[in-house]
Amino acid sequence: MANKLSNDEIQAGLRALPGWSLVEGRIEKVFSFGTYADGVAFAVKVAMAAEKADHHPDSLEILWGKVKVAYVTHSAGGVTKLDLEQAAKVDTLA
């Protein structure tokens, strides 16, 4: 099981993840799209990647033309390297 990262470790990881930030114990980012359908399509890709990695977003929220993605590893009690890895993967899907 991945270990809970320290705040310094998280901040170091976030330096390589533009647009991601630590909010209330989760790393999250809001992605913008020109249409509602584009946002939904992105969310489905994120969900597929989550199933493949067997590591799911804590929240995947579809708004109009925006999708907010949030990660934390509840089993570890905080953000782990799995979350940082999925965040990097999600960035490739936008």
User: Which of 10/46 has CB closer to a copy of itself?
Assistant: 46
Specify whether the CB–CB gap between 34 and 40 falls below 8 A: no
Q: Would you give the distance in Å from CA 58 to the centre of its chain?
A: 8
Site of tokens 């493949």: 52
Q: Please state the closest distance from residue 13 (CB atom) to a copy of itself, in A.
A: 23
User: Which of 8/51 has CB closer to a copy of itself?
Assistant: 51
Convert residues 28-67 into a mask of x (bound to a copy of itself by CB under 8 A) and - (unbound): --------xx--x--xx--x--xx----xxxxxxxxx---
Q: Please state the closest distance from residue 75 (CB atom) to a copy of itself, in A.
A: 12
Site of tokens 């980012």: 29
Instruction: Extract the tokens encoding 8.
Output: 């310094």
Q: Please state the closest distance from residue 7 (CB atom) to a copy of itself, in A.
A: 25
User: Which of 7/32 has CB closer to a copy of itself?
Assistant: 32
Specify whether the CB–CB gap between 87 and 78 falls below 8 A: no
Angle at 59 between CA 83 and CA 35, to 5 degrees: 110
